[in-house]
Structure 1
Amino acid sequence: MAGETGLTFNQLRKLAAFFGRGTLFFMEPGPVNEAKVHSPQFRTLSNQKPELSHRLKLLVERVERQRAVFLALREELDPTEVVRFSPPDLAGLSIPDAASRVREWLGLANRNNFDSYRKAIEARGLLVFRSNGYTGKWQIAKESPILGFSLYDPECPVIVIKKQDADTRQSFTLMHELGHLLIHCASSIDDEEDLYSANDEEQEANAFAGHLLVPDRFLLSIHDNERPIEAAEFDSWLEPQRRAWGVSGEMILRRLMDAGRLPSEAYAAYRRWNTQRVMPEKEGGSREHRNREPRHIFGDGYVRTVLDAMNARRITLAKASSYLDNLKISDLHKLERFYAGV
């Protein structure tokens, strides 16, 4: 307004980071153009799935805001402590070779689970969020077909995984989204149908996830002459591998089929059995460890960055709480003690 002092550029930058917008968004004259409000990543997801619910669109916006907060806080840390996203060069590689290079880039051991896969990806400068199992703003509803989405950004990509009953399904979705980011350099949103889609990019992401989680050399530990006749017994047959690799029986069977070691009829029989079986209902969990929920949702790197900024007095206790799913102050102190090992 005329005659009044406006915001400094640094103040404007922080305001933009808080709202998950670019700085120029607040500098353009005239009314807001709705078509330009959302990021290219947001519009990509909306174009892929026009039927996205309003609730899920709000979740995507929240994720973008959290990333903006993370990047703003990270810029004030010691540069030597910041891990920058620097993806491997996959140009010209076949999908199996690309998966092998990424597996090496991630430094994966032979035994893994969802947590170790997530930790390895976060250690390479990406953010990995997992939706909360409890009703709230960080939940992907159980009845929603969406399994996950990824937001490409050359500085800090984000992967969001829907919390499911089985961690093995989360592991596959995690690597599927990683495939979109590293191979296609694009944002994506995926549901159950995309895992069996004939779309070229979806097939590539599926194959990438399969080869990364279960490389060809892993299949050598499986003996075809021990394969049961009944599809219902396949999971028991593959239990040692399922536990070691943190993947589902279906994932391994698909790799065996693609390698020409399992008849397609046997794979189809397993899928029919798996679809029809009734899983026991899990009882609702306790929120006794509410203080650790931000770590489960946003990941270790994000939480540590917020706590480091708070301890360095760059942000207030109240602001740290708002960045960590509005933790109560008492729970925030518990989270601090958890990280301090007290």
Structure 2
Amino acid sequence: MERIEGINRDRIAWCCADTGITPDLLASELNIAPATFERVMSGQGGLTFNQLKSIAEYFGRGVLFFLEEGPIEVERVHTPAFRTLANQKPEMSAKMRTLIERVEKQRDVYISLREDLENTSLTRFVHPDLPVSDPKASAETARKWLGLSDRNDFDTYRDAIEAKGILVFRSNGYGGKWQIAKESAILGFSLYHPECPVIVVKKQRRDAEQAFTLMHELGHLLLHKSSSIDDEGDFHDAHSVHERSANAFAGCLLVPDRLLATLDPSDRPETVSQYGSWLDPQRKAWGVSAEVILRRLVDVGRLPQEDYAAYRAWISKLDIPQSGSGSREYRHREPKHIFGDRFVRTVLDSLSAGYITLNRATRYLDGLKVSDLHQLERYYAGT
């Protein structure tokens, strides 16, 4: 089989170092013979096109990236937003780094399509005027800005944010290029952009858990005008001022004082194991977890800190099974779950208007088969 000889091996080495993987481990993961890869890296051999393509896909690059001459210009390879996240979590995995860059590319696709559809009513992001030094007041203003009612769930929160020109992606529950690994501590990240910010939320066991992640990331965008990547420690044991303010913002936005006042403290059960049942009506109405409500009760002085800590200790010991990988029966709807309604409608509108080809549309929508894309079109048409 013909082999490509003119490979820029320095770029392969740079990508390995950038993602924290050795060339030997890269060859092993891609099933390339160690001797073959060693010859390539020493400038004495070549790779097949499929092997080079596998390397390019692993690093989220195009094949031509490894055929171009010259050194890498880091400022062109990594955006400022990416470098911000990489500095916040230098230990993040290669797959997470690739996912961040993939999200950035998807955001650029949306902006480009939106420009083509310039006569539509697609909302552009306009930063609201918030009292950023006061997270509670900012949350109250943001809640009005989003137009939220008193009853919500993850989908209504997501729709309200997307209506303001912010894309909201949710990672896959099953393995794939849009998944945040189940074993990863990362719960979400946000990419600030003056025209079109993006929030990415990890799919979790319950939508209520995702709602807090969503609003925490919104807090970073609106309060700090910055990109951020957050793990469980940033939510529960936040040390930085930004993380604490994002937590306060999220809690007050999801459970404002007005709603919190409707809870009758005399009904509180004596044992923490019953807190979930006690708060069940509010959890369902507000689309939040019991922990968020309890945290807010602590903040306003209506629940002792030790009771909240006891509840967290109790629930952390529960053996809550992870949700399954999910059925692929409704494959045509998966792009909507991942990229959100606004992104999917924009792709379909661009296809209908003739701005993009069918092949390009399937690529933008998580590699849907053409038959699935047509089924998605019928789904949106209500037929």
State the TM-score, normalized to the length of structure 2: 0.80
Match of 1:96 among 101, 112, 136: 136
> What residue is the counterpart of 1:123 in the other structure?
163
Match of 2:355 among 314, 317, 328: 314
Task: Name the CA distance, whole Å, in 2 between partners of 1:333 and 1:70.
Answer: 20
> What residue is the counterpart of 2:178 in the other structure?
138
Cα distance, 1:183 vs. partner?
0.2
- Match status 1:42 vs 2:82: yes
Alignment of 1:167-178 (within 5 A): 167-178=207-218
Match of 2:126 among 86, 89, 92: 86
Alignment of 1:17-56 (within 5 A): 31-56=71-96
- Match status 1:273 vs 2:314: yes
Task: Name the CA distance, whole Å, in 2 between partners of 1:279 and 1:52.
Answer: 26
Task: Name the CA distance, whole Å, in 2 between partners of 1:231 and 1:241.
Answer: 17
Cα distance, 1:33 vs. partner?
1.3
Task: Name the CA distance, whole Å, in 2 between partners of 1:47 and 1:314.
Answer: 38
Task: Name the CA distance, whole Å, in 2 between partners of 1:289 and 1:92.
Answer: 42
Which letter does structure 2 place at the counterpart of 1:87?
Answer: H
Match of 2:334 among 293, 317, 325: 293
Deviation per CA, 1:241-264: give whole Å up to 9, x if none. 000000000100000011000011
- Could you list the runs of 4 or more consecutive aligned residues of structure 1 that deviate by over 6 angstroms after TM superposition? none
Task: Name the CA distance, whole Å, in 2 between partners of 1:165 and 1:239.
Answer: 17
Cα distance, 1:285 vs. partner?
2.0
- Matched residues, number: 317
Instruction: Give % identity.
Output: 61
Which letter does structure 2 place at the counterpart of 1:125?
Answer: G
Which letter does structure 2 place at the counterpart of 1:311?
Answer: S
Task: Name the CA distance, whole Å, in 1 between partners of 2:98 and 2:113.
Answer: 23
> What residue is the counterpart of 1:160 in the other structure?
200
> What residue is the counterpart of 1:5 in the other structure?
none
Task: Name the CA distance, whole Å, in 2 between partners of 1:208 and 1:281.
Answer: 28
Task: Name the CA distance, whole Å, in 2 between partners of 1:110 and 1:97.
Answer: 18
Task: Name the CA distance, whole Å, in 2 between partners of 1:239 and 1:91.
Answer: 33
- Which sections of structure 2, spanning at least 5 residues, go unmatched? 1-59, 62-68
Task: Name the CA distance, whole Å, in 2 between partners of 1:270 and 1:120.
Answer: 31
Tell me the secondary structure at the aligned position of residue 116 of structure 2. Answer: coil
> What residue is the counterpart of 2:364 in the other structure?
323
Deviation per CA, 1:277-318: give whole Å up to 9, x if none. 111454442100000000000000000000000011111100
- Match status 1:202 vs 2:243: yes
> What residue is the counterpart of 1:247 in the other structure?
288
Q: CA distance change for structure 1 residues 91 and 284 in 2, over 3 Å: closer, same or farther?
A: closer
Q: CA distance change for structure 1 residues 194 and 225 in 2, over 3 Å: closer, same or farther?
A: same
Q: CA distance change for structure 1 residues 92 and 273 in 2, over 3 Å: closer, same or farther?
A: closer
* Higher mean displacement: 202-211 or 219-228: 219-228
Task: Name the CA distance, whole Å, in 2 between partners of 1:79 and 1:177.
Answer: 30
Cα distance, 1:221 vs. partner?
1.2
| Root mean square deviation of aligned Cα | 1.7
Task: Name the CA distance, whole Å, in 2 between partners of 1:333 and 1:126.
Answer: 27
Task: Name the CA distance, whole Å, in 1 between partners of 2:131 and 2:280.
Answer: 36
Task: Name the CA distance, whole Å, in 2 between partners of 1:338 and 1:327.
Answer: 14
Task: Name the CA distance, whole Å, in 1 between partners of 2:72 and 2:307.
Answer: 56
Q: CA distance change for structure 1 residues 228 and 192 in 2, over 3 Å: closer, same or farther?
A: same
- Which sections of structure 1, spanning at least 5 residues, go unmatched? 1-19, 22-28
Match of 1:229 among 270, 283, 287: 270
Match of 2:117 among 57, 67, 77: 77
> What residue is the counterpart of 2:219 in the other structure?
179
Task: Name the CA distance, whole Å, in 2 between partners of 1:168 and 1:155.
Answer: 28
> What residue is the counterpart of 2:344 in the other structure?
303
Cα distance, 1:169 vs. partner?
0.8
Which letter does structure 2 place at the counterpart of 1:211?
Answer: C
Tell me the secondary structure at the aligned position of residue 230 of structure 2. Answer: strand
Q: CA distance change for structure 1 residues 80 and 35 in 2, over 3 Å: closer, same or farther?
A: closer
Task: Name the CA distance, whole Å, in 1 between partners of 2:269 and 2:311.
Answer: 11
Tell me the secondary structure at the aligned position of residue 322 of structure 1. Answer: helix
Deviation per CA, 1:18-57: give whole Å up to 9, x if none. xx99xxxxxxx96431354100000000000000100000
Q: CA distance change for structure 1 residues 277 and 155 in 2, over 3 Å: closer, same or farther?
A: same
Deviation per CA, 1:223-243: give whole Å up to 9, x if none. 111100100000111111000
Larger radius of gyration: 2
Tell me the secondary structure at the aligned position of residue 102 of structure 2. Answer: helix
Task: Name the CA distance, whole Å, in 2 between partners of 1:207 and 1:245.
Answer: 17
State the TM-score, normalized to the length of structure 1: 0.90
Cα distance, 1:265 vs. partner?
1.0
Cα distance, 1:219 vs. partner?
1.0
